[in-house]
Amino acid sequence: INIPKSQLNLLEYKEGAFSILSVTEDKKSGARTLYMNGFSTATVSDSIGGSAYMQAMGFVPMVLHSNPKKAMVICFGTGNTTGTVSLFPEVEVDGIEIDKNVLSFAHRFSKWNKNVLKKQNVRMHIQDGRTFIRWTKNKYDVITLEPMSPIQAGTVNLYSREFYRLAESRLNKGGIMMQWLPLHLVNEEDARSILKTFQNVFPHTSVWNSFLTRIVLLVGSKEPIVLDKIRFDSLTLIPEIRKAAQQIGVNS
């Protein structure tokens, strides 16, 4: 949707070594957008489905795993995914972001990201996601990432078999990997290729879709993923998790 410039407020602007970043706010709706080199990377708003897929990228794998204690979120963006992951009981979160300037904008989205940078169970690392996964000695129960689309320079490495194998080697037994697939930014052939590559490494793959967006989420594991209603119901007794579930329209 093209919004007239007169309807937008520029809240912040920064030129750095990696990119030119800016945050705008829609004067009418209050929606805020993070731009990277002029490309809209994420928009948050209070409307239904406004930023639901970012929350879903944290919520879905954390609910599907039987007992996640260690999670990694690659690509910070507005911080919504990292913030959602951090809500779960006893979880320790490693956040990976290549551009430190992105983190300096996090306060502009604190209403949606749960003030995630101030949380005791979240540790941020300024590093390239692929490099971090290659050299870390840590093992994780959940790895979730929302890189820029594969059409952006350099990002295609995060959609490769080599990267998926690296990520798989950092998962504990029963670990879950999630990645977004932006159908509006790739053609049909590329989308099928990414899915098949992901499935090649994670034989138990499911595809999650919201009718509100043209974005699907790929969830993969080496082992079968079993839905656990009892665990879901117990998690939604936690007010913050129940609220996150309602915001993405998952009520049961």
Q: How does pLDDT run along the chain (252 residues), one tens digit per residue?
A: 566 677 888 888 989 877 889 988 888 888 888 888 887 777 887 765 556 778 888 999 999 999 999 999 998 989 999 999 999 999 999 999 988 999 999 999 888 888 999 999 999 999 988 899 999 999 999 999 876 666 666 666 777 889 899 999 999 999 999 998 878 788 889 889 989 999 999 999 999 887 666 678 999 999 999 889 999 999 999 999 998 888 888 888
Contacts of 154 (CB under 8 A, 6+ apart): none
Burial 203-212 (b: 16+ CB within 10 A, else e): eebeebebee
With contact defined as beta carbons under 8 Å apart, do 157 and 119 qualify? no
Q: What is the pLDDT of residue 166?
A: 94
pLDDT at 84: 94
Q: Report d(CA 222, CA 199) in Å as an integer.
A: 10
Spell out the residues 6+ positions from residue 183 whose beta carbon is closer than 8 angstroms to its own. 191, 214, 215, 216
According to DSSP, the β-strands at 32-36 and 39-44 are antiparallel
Q: What's at 238, amino acid-wise?
A: I
Question: What pTM did the predictor assign?
Answer: 0.90
Report d(CA 45, CA 239) in Å as an integer. Answer: 21
Rounded CA separation 207/197 (Å): 14
pLDDT at 56: 87
The residue type of 150 is: P
Task: Report the pLDDT value the prediction gives residue 168, as an integer from 0 to 100.
Answer: 95
At 112, which helix (H) or strand (E)? helix 110-113
Task: Region of 154 please: left (phi>0), alpha (psi -120 to 50) or beta.
Answer: left
